[in-house]
Structure 1
Amino acid sequence: MITVEHLTKRYGPVVAVDDVSFTAEPGLVTGFLGPNGAGKSTTLRMLCGLTPPTSGSVRVLGLPYAALSNPGRRVGVLLDASAQHAGRTGREVLALAALLTGVGRSRVDEVLDVVGLTTAESARRVGTYSLGMRQRLGLAGALLGEPEVLVLDEPANGLDPAGIRWMRDLLAAFADDGGTVLLSSHQLAEIEVIADRIVVIGRGRIVADGTKDELLRGDGTFVRSTDDAALTAALQAAGIEAQTRVGGGVVATADAELVARTASAAGVVVVELREASSRGLEELFLELTAEHAREEVTA
């Protein structure tokens, strides 16, 4: 269980994280999404005790991360796969982590097998690894202590489609066994497949938090036409609430037949007509973060 309450981080006049609250529960994969500069990485660093918050609190398994007894045995963390020591072999990286956390050396072989790094690959220096291999090694380190919680930032970067499918299955199995997974990623298609709950952050504030079904379920009708602006005006003139979406299309608070008749009367050609409930995560993400996306220094 992860509980974030009123978490705030300021760097001088810059508010990187602004009164953020959410939970990640056991048995679920929680997707943590946001555009670049939204505050995701800063939130995860505060969660893991790497960055002190200005105010608010984060509890992992009921305690601040730093207050956990031997946190490496209870919380598996992968924030930056490129941060591993380039001069050590993969096996040495894991053996040192095992020594520091009191894990038996046999566990090193177990996690290497779980993440699919061969004996020959684990004997190579990390500096020779591809990004995908570093990700697998980082995940092996996160799993080393047989934790109850996983906190992962972009763990699928550098993985091929088969590797992404493997990681999806691994995280789903971890959650099915009662583990807590907090997963930050830009790969929205994968989050849509694996996440049970989704938290979206923009400009340091939570802009959406709920189950995947709750957030992807819309109201009314989605319609795409040859002239969305004219269609929106026609719908509004007919007393129907209508709003254009980022990326094209219009959502109207009326059934499909009425929307189609209104479009026909206005001389607008409809090219797509469906229930609004069938929108995808990418569409939702763009809609929620259109006013929050930025390319500034906040992470």
Structure 2
Amino acid sequence: MPDLTQSRTISTYSLQWNRYRILRPEEDRATFRNRTGLTGADLAGSLVLDGGCGMGRYVRVAAEAGARVVGIDLSEAVQAARDLNADLPIVGLLRADLFRLPLLEGTFDHIYSLGVLDHTPDPRRAFLSLARRLKPGGRIAIWVYQKERPALEVIIEAHRAISTRLPVSVLETLSRWSAPIGGLKRRLMNSPNRLIARSGVALNVLTIGVSMHPDPEVRVCDTLDWYAPKYASRHTFEEVSSWFREAGLVDIEDLSARQTYYHKGQGNGINLAGRRPEA
């Protein structure tokens, strides 16, 4: 049974991923490539673990490249993932807790966890649990929220102090209502007029969690993802890289250093990869 402290996480992502089937193949492939650093050649024939698969869009990307993929999620999102990947026989999906993984250690060639660890009660411990499932020579890539400057952190925490006390169903409605604000922010910030662009930046600070994704449906989903979960921690590069060293990983790489975003406003993150030494 999952930890009762994660009940909010379960309800949030069970609703989110079963209601919003936001499969965007071209964007999903670009984001996967950016945030894992994995190519088709890396994936072909490998055994891969998706640590927090949600609706399974990245499971599908990896499987279509020829990997055998195991996807796990704490929530009922695994049902959406099963629906999405029903035509791929090399995919296995199960509902499981990152802290109590029913998987053998030293098994996987590749592990990735994108925007998941920061929604757990203890991101470091969740990471170490995943890293133990790497086989010698195996590689893990993660993406978590980046810690913002102090003034912005105060605004974020003030917003979430309110939002995390509201029912998820109410936040979903508010996320829908706020979608036009995200579109407005995007238009203002892309204006060639400096004054208008700066007004967009100011609006973005005041509504920091409202997504600016070009697709309105994704905007709703991303905004809900920001405001609803009980846990949404933000981290520094030094902190996250220390997890990799603690796990005994080598060849630690900052994947964000050479990324090109699919669209403007995808958010700041700490995106690292590392490898377990060969036996």
TM-score w.r.t. the length of structure 2 is 0.30
TM-score w.r.t. the length of structure 1 is 0.29
In our comparison, the structure showing a higher alpha carbon Rg is 1
Higher helix share: 2
Higher strand share: 1
